[in-house]
Structure 1
């Protein structure tokens, strides 16, 4: 049986996981996190580092990317609520982002479930809210 040779990429194509301006690659690659994030909503930020939170729940961190760069993420479920914790590499503010499934009935209840599993109280929050409602920062400002 003859081997089928696959041609290499066209020299003018951009790499697949990047902005494609001029001569387009027919493929646009997304990271697993970018794909999964559409089913979550950002609801809070936590002060403790992602690694410590992941260690507490014995979670495995996965690395992906998004518009702002590389991101470390853990996706998991507690009491039938889907969560994700993420941190963008090199972020100016090192908060751990808390994401809750868009299907969650009550975000505040979900946040309490997560904090309980982490052994933390609301003092661990750096901010809370959603893109739709705005974010309440716990340093006195609003976002």
Structure 2
């Protein structure tokens, strides 16, 4: 079998740009693995402990990706057949770790309970709750209901 030689980039091609933000001649748009994966998740909460501490608790490896706003560190994992992701946007003014749950999960409250139990922390670690459709509630400024 003969070796196929691939030519280098065309001289007038700029580096591949993020999806949808480029009008140059390079036909390729690049997305990070995080950008592809996050499409199957929905943001449901924030946590106050650092991403490093949360990942260490579950012995997760953090991966570096990027999104429109810049570099992001994330860990994607499964507990009791529920897919979760934890992420932290580098340079974000908020120290919150974002909690993402698979879009296939119907009972987000139950999923969060499972995650918090596995992390060994209580609901007092939540900094916000909600979703993009109904809006988010900042739990640092809103009184928490008695449980």
Whether these two folds match at TM > 0.5 is yes
The alignment status of 1:63 with 2:64, answered yes or no, reads: yes
Q: Please name the residue that 1:79 is paired with.
A: 80
| Structure 1 residue 20, shift from structure 2 partner | 4.1
Q: Please name the residue that 1:45 is paired with.
A: 46
Shifted more, 78-87 versus 14-23: the winner is 14-23
Q: Taking structure 2 as the reference length, what is the TM-score of the superposition?
A: 0.89
Gaps of 5+ in 1: none
Q: Please name the residue that 1:123 is paired with.
A: 124
| Structure 1 residue 29, shift from structure 2 partner | 1.2
| Structure 1 residue 94, shift from structure 2 partner | 1.3
Q: Please name the residue that 1:22 is paired with.
A: 23
Q: Please name the residue that 2:5 is paired with.
A: 5
* Residues 1:20 and 1:129: Cα distance change in structure 2 (over 3 Å): closer
Q: Taking structure 1 as the reference length, what is the TM-score of the superposition?
A: 0.91
What is the RMSD of the two structures over their aligned residues, measured on CA atoms?
1.6
| Structure 1 residue 25, shift from structure 2 partner | 1.6
Q: Is the 8 A contact 1:14 1:20 kept in 2?
A: no
| Structure 1 residue 7, shift from structure 2 partner | 2.1
Q: Helix, strand or coil for the counterpart of 2:36?
A: helix
**How many residue pairs end up in the alignment?**
141
Q: Distance in 1 between matches of 2:113 and 2:17?
A: 36
Q: Distance in 1 between matches of 2:139 and 2:21?
A: 38
Q: Helix, strand or coil for the counterpart of 1:38?
A: helix
